[in-house]
A and B are shown apart, each in its own frame.
Chain A
């Protein structure tokens, strides 16, 4: 397992959560420094979550400003029913989906086709196919937005079943099923690239 970027985690541990709650209380009172601290602590993860959904760096960068502006505006309404990081990912998801809706479905389909074609024709990619990890990463990137989202929330953002359900707005049973089918699709894509994982 690769080493993680320790400057931005662990976001889900109780100590950090308590600290985030204090920051949110200060932000509710108009404390700009607290806003800066919260931004420094979470902006990379929020950016990566948004970027994986919208697949455009400039858009993702614009969106995280909007996400944190919403945090600034709504801090007084935060009731602490979830971790601050979970709350922020919910806001980020809403912003990302709104941005995606502004792009036509046709545009997205073209983008997806280009992406897969590019990977297939690229000599470097062909070499990378020998590396199972590289193939997996390539296929993770080629998953649908719905499947990318659930995989990232579980594996990278370390969200529990309950937290994913809260962020995505679906029942917990659906979260488990969606994750299962996301993984299944991933294995199918990997198999198409010539690597049989023996599942499904």
Chain B
């Protein structure tokens, strides 16, 4: 901007003067206009005219007065005549949640808070129960495992052959109606229930002999 007094200021900068006076220009354009105003006295003179117009436009508008109360009454009469509306779906989740809580009375909010506290307590109890149950000695049961109480029946300790697959062991347990009730413990041994009632020693020995012959079993011993 090198305009002298006799030269017209740059048109694009001059066009921005009204917004500069109103304070609605972005930072970049504001700097551009301020630099031009500092360098160009003719532009600065025209800026003074803009400020005059701004001032008188405000003054003119402020003398226009305000509408009467009838405008508000008419508006709400029209709103009353409108069909009941359903909540707008375009509102975001936050606004919907906010509106829900805003619609509650203080008493309702109080009851809601109590109910929420109770729900949290119940939830905490349930979680605690689950955690305690999970912390009990780990067991393994097939889907068809009887619901026999622990400690009731005849048991053996079995170590499975290292080459036995999971599928082989499942088939072995199923074929012999066995269920694993604990393990593995030290030595890779599993406690297996062989009968739901206590068995005579001879009968238990026969069963153990039979189990020992299976290829998935590497070792078997009696236990309580």
Interface size class of chain A, counting residues whose CB lies under 8 Å from the partner chain: 35 or more
Known A-B contacts A35-B79, A65-B75; A160 and B24 likewise in contact (beta carbons under 8 Å)? yes
B22: which A residues are within 8 A, CB to CB? 154-155, 158
Q: How many angstroms from the CA of A32 to the CA of B64 in the assembled complex?
A: 28
Residue on B nearest A44 in the bound complex, by CB: B66
By the criterion of a CB under 8 Å from any partner CB, how many residues of chain B are at the interface?
Answer: 54
Q: How many angstroms from the CA of A152 to the CA of B18 in the assembled complex?
A: 11
Q: State the majority secondary structure of interface residues on B.
A: helix
A79: which B residues are within 8 A, CB to CB? 90
Q: State the majority secondary structure of interface residues on A.
A: helix
Q: How many angstroms from the CA of A182 to the CA of B59 in the assembled complex?
A: 18
Judge whether A1 is part of the interface by a CB distance below 8 angstroms.
yes
As a 0/1 sequence over residues 82 to 110 of chain A, the CB contacts with chain B under 8 angstroms (1 = contact) are 00000000000000000000000000000
Distance from A65 Cβ to chain B, minimum over Cβ atoms (Å): 4
As a 0/1 sequence over residues 123 to 154 of chain A, the CB contacts with chain B under 8 angstroms (1 = contact) are 00000000011001100110000000001101
Distance from B128 Cβ to chain A, minimum over Cβ atoms (Å): 40
As a 0/1 sequence over residues 19 to 40 of chain B, the CB contacts with chain A under 8 angstroms (1 = contact) are 1011111100000000000000
Does the CB pair B60–A140 fall under 8 Å? yes
Q: How many angstroms from the CA of A111 to the CA of B197 in the assembled complex?
A: 111
Judge whether A179 is part of the interface by a CB distance below 8 angstroms.
yes
Known A-B contacts A48-B64, A183-B50, A199-B46; A159 and B15 likewise in contact (beta carbons under 8 Å)? no
Q: How many angstroms from the CA of A137 to the CA of B58 in the assembled complex?
A: 9
As a 0/1 sequence over residues 78 to 89 of chain B, the CB contacts with chain A under 8 angstroms (1 = contact) are 110010110111
Judge whether B76 is part of the interface by a CB distance below 8 angstroms.
yes
B residues at A contact (CB < 8 Å):
11-12, 14-16, 18-19, 21-26, 45-46, 49-62, 64-68, 70-72, 74-76, 78-79, 82, 84-85, 87-91, 95, 98-99, 102
